[in-house]
A and B are shown apart, each in its own frame.
Chain A
Amino acid sequence: MPMDESVRKAILGAVPSLRAFAISLCGNVDRADDLVQETMLRALANIDSFQPGTNMSAWLFTILRNHFRSEYRKRRREVEDTDGHYADSLKSQPEQHGQVEFREFKEALTHLPSDQREALILVGASGFSYEEAANICGCAVGTIKSRVNRARTRLAELLSIDGVDDFGPDEQTRAVLAGGGE
């Protein structure tokens, strides 16, 4: 399997965003890195099925996402909770911004159903179009739009910013959301 230089570059180039996506899926850096590694191996093993000229990054995201989903089903018991383990693993990450608001945002994100979180990340952070995100997730474009909308609305609810002028902190709500810390 002689590796084409452009393939090598494209795969390595996609690693940072694959990691960001994987961490947002599973909430655990080590596991995310394993997911990325498995994605790279699968991609190279199946490189013939990649169509040159199409979006390599989206292809890799699809592999990663499918792999995560099948693992997820296998390890449902372990991974399922959107509140417990996932939230805990995020909490244990070093704080990089030191902002209460930022931490609360991450915390709120963990309370989204995983399909909504995934759609929101793909569209809102990874920069994929709704169409690309729909391809990656194997669902209709309308489904992705709906998930993204629900995710945003839910986040705004959780963060008590559902009104335009309602950015003022409601400290009590925030404290509860943040798990009483602080």
Chain B
Amino acid sequence: MNERKPVGQHKPMETSETTNKKGGAKPGKLGRDVQARLGQQLRAMYDDVVNQGVPDRFADLINRLEDNGNKDKH
């Protein structure tokens, strides 16, 4: 399942791992309820957008592309 081929290539990006901020992160240091709380907020933020569904702009785009595809062989 990990064999998919991404378009473009992976490039390394700047890493924050190397710029260890004070204290750094120690895995498991946070309490479970803290983690749960953070996770909940994160999903709430994300889901606000997800729940907006598919804006017309994108449905229109697909339809347009489809029409073009049917007309001329690309």
Contacts and interface: CB of A to CB of B under 8 A. Distances in A.
Interface of A: 1-3, 8, 11-12, 15-17, 19-20, 23-24, 33, 36-37, 40-44, 46, 49-51, 54-55, 58-59, 62-63, 66-67, 69-70, 96-97, 101-102, 105-106, 109, 113, 115-116, 120-121, 124-126, 131-132, 135-139, 143, 145-147, 149-150, 152-157, 161-164, 167
A11 B66 CA distance: 13
Contacts of B44: 97, 102
B62 A147 contact: no
Given A156-B34, A164-B31, A124 B69 contact: no
A70 B23 contact: no
Contacts of B14: 113, 115
Contact of A164 (B34, B42, B59): B34
Contact of B4 (A33, A41, A59): A59
Contacts of B21: 150, 154
8 contacts: A16-B52, A42-B7, A69-B13, A132-B2, A135-B4, A147-B16, A150-B24, A154-B25
Interface in B3-17: 3-17
3 closest Cβ contacts across the A-B interface?
A138-B10, A164-B31, A125-B46
Contact of A152 (B24, B25, B46, B49): B25
Contact of A66 (B10, B41, B48): B10
B4 to A, nearest CB: 4
Interface string B29-70: 111011101110111111111111111011101100110111
B27 to A, nearest CB: 5
Given A102-B45, A162-B30, 5 more contacts: A24-B45, A49-B5, A126-B46, A152-B35, A153-B23
A12 B4 contact: no
B49 A19 contact: yes
A15 B58 contact: yes
A93 to B, nearest CB: 9
Given A102-B45, A120-B42, A147-B16, A8 B62 contact: yes
